[in-house]
């Protein structure tokens, strides 16, 4: 009898942030080792707590949250999202243009499933948050990677994007602030990309889940405030990061631009939204309170704030290691350092990360997991305390001082 095999649809689908390295770390933990996990952008295990108001409001609403909701989501939360975006200069979003999901993740997958025919292309950044590439592949499409340029603050290379547009291209993904690089894109770059979308009739997919996690003088520009009435834009954001409730699974997607031209696509989105019935209802109740309440994230990112201090310390210590260089993240929760290939001629960065895990008990994510081509980068989260960051980067430096790839 033949074995039970996975679907061919999964052959090009990769999500290595939770891949074999994490499995190995769990195995080591089961053996009694303490692993410093620098691999997943999940604030709660690092001692970041949700604002009380959100928890209180969710508990208060629990008795009313027992049934399914409308498949787009509860009205009050969708209205709160509309108001929020209106305040950010996005005028053409109506309450029915907002879909709530079990995190942004579900909506990313759903929006691409509804759009793509086999072989159609979506321009996705490299490095990227790999769910985008994986979701394009799962939907039968082809992710075509455009370069984000490390020598230019990790901003998208607009010429590279343009050179990769073909008759098969349907859209451009913008992850801003970016995971894994921490880059925040200036209005001028977003405008150039939107102009490309306008000229080639492409959809902008704007993943802005880190829009409130900004450092120094960084300013976030919502792509939908630039796309206006003539470029279709799907904006994704949610509560996992800025409100530290990744486990509640609460996110949204908002459609703006020429919706009349997208009626058929939107019908497809509605079908898939109906098929998954609705997002987790108690977590939908958190949205209005989160968006309308005290924005405690600001206390964490301003000078003296915990996230800011941790980013600064990690950046300083990484750059002090010979052969390691790292851009200063302007947003989000990560650093994406470079390992100079002249100093560390690494052939497999996954093996590098595995060796580091085994020897020093720290878990990072290898750069190629983010669809970065060369094995010369890795990602670490800046969520651990300054003490743990010092400990982890100290161990990394010790490891690198004798590392022979
Ligand atoms: N988009 C980006 C850029 C992310 O980094 C993440 C999570 O790390 C997500 C989306 C998924 O977020 P959610 O928890 O809302 O599913």
Residues paired with 325 in a beta bridge: 338
pLDDT of residue 404: 82
Coil, strand or helix: which one is 71? Answer: coil
State the Cα–Cα distance between residues 159 and 67, nearest whole angstrom: 50
- 227: nearest Cα among 270, 177, 254, 190: 190
Q: For the segment 54-93, what is each residue's pLDDT rounded down to a tens digit?
A: 999 999 999 999 999 999 999 999 999 999 999 999 988 9
Q: Is the CB of 58 under 6 A from ligand 1?
A: no
* Average pLDDT, rounded, for the chain: 96
pLDDT of residue 91: 84
Q: Is the CB of 129 under 6 A from ligand 1?
A: yes
Q: Average of pLDDT values for 303-324?
A: 97
State the Cα–Cα distance between residues 32 and 41, nearest whole angstrom: 24
Q: What is the pTM of this model?
A: 0.97
pLDDT at 14 over 90: no
Give CA angle at 75 (70, 77), nearest 5°. Answer: 110
Q: For the segment 189-243, what is each residue's pLDDT rounded down to a tens digit?
A: 999 999 999 999 999 999 999 999 999 999 999 999 999 899 999 999 999 999 9
pLDDT at 161 over 80: yes
Q: Is the CB of 207 under 6 A from ligand 1?
A: yes
Residue with tokens 């190629």: 368
Q: Is the CB of 209 under 6 A from ligand 1?
A: yes
Q: Is this complex's ipTM strictly greater than 0.90?
A: yes
Q: Is the CB of 134 under 6 A from ligand 1?
A: no
Q: Is the CB of 251 under 6 A from ligand 1?
A: yes
By alpha-carbon position, which residue is closest to atom 8 of ligand 1? 41
How much distance in Å is there from the Cα of 105 to the middle of ligand 1?
6
In DSSP notation, 5-44 reads: ---GGGTT---GGGSHHHHHHHHHHHTTPPPEE-S---SG
Cβ–Cβ < 8 Å for 341, 368 = no
pLDDT of residue 96: 97
Residue 392 confidence class, pLDDT cut points 50, 70, 90:
very high
Cα–chain-centroid distance for residue 344?
28
Q: Is the CB of 384 under 6 A from ligand 1?
A: no
By alpha-carbon position, which residue is closest to atom 12 of ligand 1? 104
The dihedral of CA 202, 207, 211, 215: what is its sign? negative
- 52-292 shares the fold of 8-49+299-402: no
The atom number, within ligand 1, closest to the CA of 239 reads 15
Q: Among 101, 179, 371, which is best to mutate for testing ligand 1, by the most ligand atoms less than 8 A from CB?
A: 179
CATH class of 8-49+299-402: alpha beta
Sheet strand arrangement including 155-156: 98-101, 251-256, 233-238, 203-207, 169-175, 121-126, 142-149, 155-156
Cβ–Cβ < 8 Å for 384, 42 = no
What is the architecture of the domain spanning 52-292?
A: 3-Layer(aba) Sandwich (3.40)
In DSSP notation, 175-200 reads: ESS-TTT-----HHHHHHHHHHHHHH
pLDDT at 17 over 80: no
Q: Where are the domains of the chain?
A: 8-49+299-402, 52-292
Residue with tokens 């109906």: 274
Q: Is the CB of 240 under 6 A from ligand 1?
A: yes
Q: For the segment 87-100, what is each residue's pLDDT rounded down to a tens digit?
A: 999 988 999 999 99
Residue 18 confidence class, pLDDT cut points 50, 70, 90:
confident
Coil, strand or helix: which one is 120? Answer: coil
State the Cα–Cα distance between residues 270 and 399, nearest whole angstrom: 51
CA distances from 172 to 51, 109, 178, 216, 267 (A): 34, 15, 14, 28, 21
């Amino acid at each position: 009898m033949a074995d039970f095999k996975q679907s061919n649809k999964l052959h090009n689908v990769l999500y290595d942030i939770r891949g074999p390295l994490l499995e190995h770390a769990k195995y080591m933990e089961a053996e009694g080792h303490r692993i410093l996990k620098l691999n997943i952008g999940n604030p709660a295990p690092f001692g970041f707590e949700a604002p009380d108001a959100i928890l209180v409001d969710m508990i208060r609403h629990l008795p009313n949250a027992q049934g399914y909701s409308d498949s787009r989501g509860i009205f009050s939360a969708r209205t709160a999202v509309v108001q929020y975006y209106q305040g950010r200069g996005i005028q053409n979003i109506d309450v029915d243009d907002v879909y709530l999901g079990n995190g942004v993740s579900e909506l990313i997958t759903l929006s691409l499933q509804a759009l793509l025919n086999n072989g159609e292309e979506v321009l996705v950044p490299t490095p990227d948050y790999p769910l985008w590439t994986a979701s394009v592949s799962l939907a039968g499409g082809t992710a075509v990677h455009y370069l984000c340029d490390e020598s230019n603050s990790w901003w998208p290379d607009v010429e590279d994007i343009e050179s990769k547009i073909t008759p098969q291209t349907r859209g451009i993904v913008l992850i801003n602030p970016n995971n894994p690089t921490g880059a925040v894109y200036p209005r001028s770059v977003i405008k150039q990309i939107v102009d490309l979308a306008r000229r080639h009739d492409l959809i902008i997919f704007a993943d802005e889940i880190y829009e409130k996690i900004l450092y120094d003088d960084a300013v976030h520009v919502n792509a939908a405030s630039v796309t206006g009435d003539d470029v279709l834009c799907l904006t994704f954001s949610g509560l996992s990061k800025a409100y530290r409730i990744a486990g509640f699974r609460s996110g949204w997607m908002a459609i703006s631009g020429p919706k009349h031209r997208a009626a058929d696509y939107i019908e497809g989105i509605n079908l898939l939204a109906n098929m998954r019935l609705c997002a987790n209802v108690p977590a939908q109740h958190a949205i209005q309170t989160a968006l309308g309440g005290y924005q405690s994230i600001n206390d964490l990112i301003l000078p003296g704030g915990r996230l800011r201090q941790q980013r600064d310390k990690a950046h300083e210590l990484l750059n002090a290691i010979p052969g390691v260089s790292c851009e200063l993240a302007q947003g989000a929760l990560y650093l994406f350092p470079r390992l100079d290939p002249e100093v560390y001629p690494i052939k497999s960065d996954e093996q590098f990360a595995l060796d580091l895990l085994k020897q020093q008990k720290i878990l990072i994510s290898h750069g190629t997991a983010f669809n970065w081509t060369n094995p010369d980068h890795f990602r670490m989260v800046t969520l651990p305390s300054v003490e743990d960051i010092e400990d982890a980067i100290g161990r990394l430096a010790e490891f690198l001082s004798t590392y022979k790839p």
